[in-house]
Structure 1
């Protein structure tokens, strides 16, 4: 009886380890596919109308959209899409002490409004420079509202 129980326990552990490896592999493959076409940046997001919790993710520039994908997940579709047209940058700040633990070391935070939704994006200074350049390079006639010093 004891040998049989040990054998079953061993197979259960093997199955659990295989499931973890498959899930990790699927998340790694998803991230690789997202980054394959380029135009991606690590970007944390906090929805100011929702829970207010920082979520780690990847921002992907697709034409006039910034598509935000949660890093730990399996969806191919973005969790949030931020349209460049009509996007307003409300301000920029450094992370507070409590936020700094959850974000990358050189993160800067910008608050943006797109339509009715307000979000904060945290990204490296180099990624922020790219984001602002993407905003400023919008087609002629599109409003871009950047505060001074952003």
Structure 2
């Protein structure tokens, strides 16, 4: 029995729909794995080598600041900084619109030669995390 054009179109449409569903499921699962019980913040980075803003997910974990690309298969952070190595400068407004980050402010990370763009509430959260003591640090101080 030969396939008709309608049957072929239905199969192609079903395959495309399955691909979309699998892609969305992977994105959701990847985000859950990256979070691992920690909060994620939407942010963007740029470096002198790559002057365009790259959107990503920021995880503040213990004494680590980790940045993950929004898209891609990697489950490990693409960039990571120790809390004590991170030197956040003063926030300044970003000169371009970054999708997903309305009213973004930019901060320099110091010697890492990376700029971060965050929404103002996210910047406040990162600044509070940065200035607080890491878990277990100086716990016996009286």
| TM-score (ref. length: structure 2) | 0.80
More relative contact order, 1 or 2 (CA 8 Å, 6+ apart):
1
Q: For the structure 1 residues 86 and 38, does the alpha-carbon distance in structure 2 shift closer, same or farther, using more than 3 Å as the test? A: closer
Q: Figure out how many residues of one structure are paired with residues of the other and give that number.
A: 135
Q: Which has the higher strand share?
A: 1
**Equivalent residues in 2 for 1:69-148, closer than 5 Å:** 69-96=68-95, 99-102=96-99, 104-114=101-111, 117-138=112-133
Q: What CA distance in whole angstroms lies between the structure 1 residues aligned with 2:10 and 2:88?
A: 55
- Range 84-93 or range 105-114, more displaced: 84-93
| Runs of 4+ more than 4 Å apart | none
**What is the aligned partner in structure 2 of residue 28 from structure 1?**
28
| TM-score (ref. length: structure 1) | 0.76
Q: Note the residue ranges of structure 1 that are not aligned, 5 or more in a row.
A: 141-150
**CA-to-partner distance for each residue in 1:10-65, whole Å, 9 max, x for gaps?**
2122112211210111101211333351232111122x132212121111012211
**1:3 Cα deviation (Å)?**
5.6
Q: Is the 8 A contact 2:45 2:117 kept in 1?
A: yes
**CA-to-partner distance for each residue in 1:115-145, whole Å, 9 max, x for gaps?**
xx311111121211121122222468xxxxx
Q: For the structure 1 residues 57 and 16, does the alpha-carbon distance in structure 2 shift closer, same or farther, using more than 3 Å as the test? A: same
